[in-house]
Chain A
Amino acid sequence: MSIRQRSLWVGLFLLAGSCFDSLPGLSAQRGHTPEPSQVVKTSMLLDEQDAGQMESMEQMDEQGQMGMMHMGSVEVLGDGNVAWRMPPMDAPMPPLPGLENAVPTVGPFMVKGDMDPTGFPEARPGEIVEMDDGETLDLTASIVQRTINGKTFLMYGYNGQYPGPLIKGDRGSTVIINFTNEIEMPTTVHWHGLRLDNRFDGVPDVTQPPVLVGQSFTYELYFRDTGIYWYHPHMREDLQQDLGLYGNMLVMPPENDYYGAVNREEVIILDDLLMDEQGPIPWGDTAPSHALMGRFGNVLLVNGTTDYQLEVDRGEVVRFYITNVANTRTFNMVFGGARVKVVASDVSKFEREEWVESVVIAPAERYVVEVQFDEPGEVELTNSIQAIDDFMGEFYYQLKSLGRVTVRDTTTTNDLSVEFKTLRQHDDVINDIDGYRDAFGREPDHQLELTLRVQNLPTPIMRALEFEAGLFSPPLEWNDAMPMMNWLSSTEQVQWILRDADTGQENMEIEWRFTVGDVVKIRIFNNPETIHPMNHPVHLHGQRYLVLSIDGVPNQNLVWKDTAIVPVGSVVDILADMDNPGTWMLHCHIAEHLDAGMMMSFSVNEQ
Chain B
Amino acid sequence: MSFLRAMVLATVLAAAVGISLAAAVPSTTSGTISSLSPCSAIISAPPLPSQYYGIEMVTTRRVPGTGRAVGTGMVNFARSPFGVAVSPSGRYVYDLSLSIDRIKAPRRGAYTAWAVAPDLQDVVRLGVIEEGQVASARVTWNKFLVVVTLESSTEPTARWHGPVVMRGMSRSGMMHTLAGHGPYENEACLKYGFK
Contact = CB atoms under 8 A, between A and B. Distances in A.
Q: Which of A398, A467, A549 has the most CB of B within 10 A?
A: A467
A394 interface: yes
Interface in A350-388: 350, 354, 356-361, 367, 384-386, 388
A531 B76 contact: no
A391 B174 contact: no
Interface stretch (B32-40, B63-71, B99-107, B148-156): B32-40
Given A462-B31, A472-B171, A360 B80 contact: yes
B48 A551 contact: yes
A466 interface: yes
A478 interface: yes
Contact of B79 (A394, A504, A556, A573): A556
Contact of A547 (B39, B76, B83, B178): B83
B79 A529 contact: no
B84 A476 contact: yes
Interface string A515-555: 00000000101011111000000000000000101111101
A525 B176 contact: no
Interface in B1-53: 19-26, 28, 31-36, 38-40, 42-44, 46-53
B174 A501 contact: no
A150 interface: no
A386 B89 CA distance: 7
A553 B182 contact: no
Interface stretch (A94-102, A231-239, A285-293): A94-102
Contacts of B184: 94, 96-97, 391, 464
B86 A360 contact: yes
A528 B88 contact: no
B87 A390 contact: no
Contacts of A384: 88-90
Q: Which of A474, A547, A557 has the most CB of B within 10 A?
A: A474
A20 interface: no
A311 B46 CA distance: 50
Nearest to B177: A393
B50 A551 contact: yes
A589 interface: no
Nearest to B45: A571
A568 interface: yes
A94 to B, nearest CB: 6
A559 B79 CA distance: 14
A281 B49 CA distance: 40
A468 B162 CA distance: 36
A549 B49 CA distance: 11
Contacts of A31: none
Given A550-B83, A551-B76, 9 more contacts: A94-B187, A354-B81, A393-B175, A393-B177, A398-B90, A453-B33, A456-B32, A470-B24, A478-B90
Q: Name the 9 nearest CB pairs between A and B, nearest first.
A: A470-B24, A467-B182, A569-B52, A569-B50, A571-B47, A360-B82, A528-B52, A385-B90, A552-B47
